[in-house]
Structure 1
Amino acid sequence: MKKLLLGAAALAFTAGAALAQDVVRMGTEGAYPPYNFINDANEVDGYDIDIGNEVCARAELTCEWVTNDWDSIIPNLVSGNYDTIAAGMSITDERDAVIDFSIPYFPADPSAYAAMGDVDVTTAVVAAQTGTIQSSHVAETGATLVEFATPDEAVAAVRNGEVDAILADKAFLTPIVDEDPDLSFIGEDIVLGKGMGIGMRESDTELKEKIDAALTSMKEDGKMAELLEKWFPGIDTDF
């Protein structure tokens, strides 16, 4: 028992010492454009990355990016494999009970259903990425939920007839629907969550203060609006 307690204490110390390190590790998925993805140069790219890099510059932090599968992205933050999550993650009460969040750097964004034809989403078989606000919403509607590890797998399931529809962030689905004449949006958009924030361990209070201060300055001087317009042309930047 004593060894277990000492191990837990050591983990707590490590998890609470992000700013004592030479490098702050920024965790992202790298598979959810335009929020985050791997570009042609095999580097992480997207809105989350631009936001994170600007935050690090303003907070005078030395940062490096780490990619991690979505379904384990919070557990690996908590266990100390990286120090933040910047991965298009919506702020929810359920997540906030496990980790802490910065102030929002993206507004509460519409989610949308897409399908190959006319579908009643309240009784259909609907795909969503595992562990997302969309999967939780589908589960609450009475539809049959089928979860996939990546959003691309969920889209493929619609195309091959494995499921009837997909629910995901509309910004992610829009270019896919635009390029595929067989896919279309159905039903009304749904606003879920409280906007997107940078996730941190609850013990990293000093890091949170630095990140919040950087994000606040980006809102005030227009840099955040500039990055929003770059990745999401026409989006409402007043939030």
Structure 2
Amino acid sequence: MKTLILAALAATTLGGAAIAQEVRLGTEGAYAPWNFMGDDGEVDGFEIELGNELCERAGLSCTWVVNEWDTIIPNLVAGNYDAIIAGMSITDERMQTIDFSDNYYPPDPSKFAQAAGADINYDDLSGIRIGVQGATIQAAYAEQNFGENNTILSYETADQSVADLSAGNVDVVLADGGYLAPIVDGSGGALEFAGPDVMIGGGVGIGLRKDDDEIEAKFNEAIASMKADGSLNELITEWFDPPNTFPEE
């Protein structure tokens, strides 16, 4: 009897009822509309909906882990979760440490936000306090291009940089346009975009450990299917105003 039971269990595992692979998704939970903590204390946002859909299409059983931004890559490498879905731009520097899936959000212009009517010469920034979120592509860009003649103030979260902009403690914030747009629009005219758009990075993708080729392939297939059927653009349009969608195939 025991032999028959074991054989039945083996057949079930090898058949269509196989247990889905468990994957832990790391996110920041502090970067609306990409990812944030909802009123119920659970993570919410564009990437949460996206990640759940990608996992369903890829046949993965996924759970979410919230991690502070500045240690999000080290904790991936350490094995505390299996993938990063946290508005992370694909860059050559990051790819020295981790791999990325195909992008699930096109390259997004970074923008400068300032107090409405502020007299700032963006052709020759000098003596300006520039707020950025630490360990971001904007932080690296600001240090490289403006660090010599300006003060770069790095914050743990992007929301903190915007709060200091509103309080007058920084003159300018440089961040993703998709993050800043609803903040500027909702400021009642207190904040405005100014200066040139800055294109940095190759779009936003899922961060993965170098040796996780199987998970990467599954996510890439799921992303491709969402691009092909238009559901990815629909999700982007739902969460971003204005939406930055992929060209129609």
Please list, as runs of the form range in 1=range in 2, the aligned pairs for 1:126-205 lying within 5 A after superposition.
126-142=130-146, 143-180=150-187, 181-205=189-213
> After superposition, what is the alpha-carbon deviation per residue over 1:19-55, rounded to whole angstroms, capped at 9, x for unaligned?
x995210000000001001111211111111111111
* 1:129 CA drift (Å): 0.1
Give the equivalent residue in structure 1 for 2:129.
Answer: 125
After TM superposition, where is structure 1 displaced by more than 3 Å over at least 4 residues in a row? none
1:118–1:186 contact (8 Å) kept in structure 2: no
**Counterpart amino acid of residue 134 in structure 2:** T
* 1:118 CA drift (Å): 2.4
Between the aligned partners of 1:221 and 1:236, the Cα distance in structure 2 is 17
* 1:183 CA drift (Å): 1.4
Structure 2, unaligned runs of 5 or more: 1-18
* 1:128 CA drift (Å): 0.2
> After superposition, what is the alpha-carbon deviation per residue over 1:170-204, rounded to whole angstroms, capped at 9, x for unaligned?
12112211222221111121121100000000010
2:104–2:205 contact (8 Å) kept in structure 1: yes
1:106–1:196 contact (8 Å) kept in structure 2: yes
Between the aligned partners of 1:55 and 1:148, the Cα distance in structure 2 is 31
Q: Secondary structure at the match of 1:37?
A: strand
> After superposition, what is the alpha-carbon deviation per residue over 1:217-236, rounded to whole angstroms, capped at 9, x for unaligned?
11111111111111124424
Alignment identity in percent?
Answer: 48
Q: What RMSD in Å do the two structures reach over aligned CA positions? A: 1.6
Structure 1, unaligned runs of 5 or more: 1-19
* 1:120 CA drift (Å): 3.1
Number of residue equivalences: 220
Between the aligned partners of 1:222 and 1:183, the Cα distance in structure 2 is 34
1:138–1:144 contact (8 Å) kept in structure 2: no
> After superposition, what is the alpha-carbon deviation per residue over 1:42-70, rounded to whole angstroms, capped at 9, x for unaligned?
11111111111111000110000000000
Please list, as runs of the form range in 1=range in 2, the aligned pairs for 1:1-239 lying within 5 A after superposition.
23-116=22-115, 117-121=118-122, 122-123=125-126, 124-142=128-146, 143-180=150-187, 181-239=189-247
Between the aligned partners of 2:166 and 2:239, the Cα distance in structure 1 is 26
- Cα gap change, 1:21/1:56 in structure 2, threshold over 3 Å: closer, same or farther? closer
| TM-score normalised by structure 1 residue count | 0.88
Between the aligned partners of 1:129 and 1:147, the Cα distance in structure 2 is 5
**Counterpart amino acid of residue 125 in structure 1:** R
Considering only CA atoms, is the larger Rg found in Structure 1 or Structure 2?
2
Between the aligned partners of 1:234 and 1:176, the Cα distance in structure 2 is 13
| TM-score normalised by structure 2 residue count | 0.84
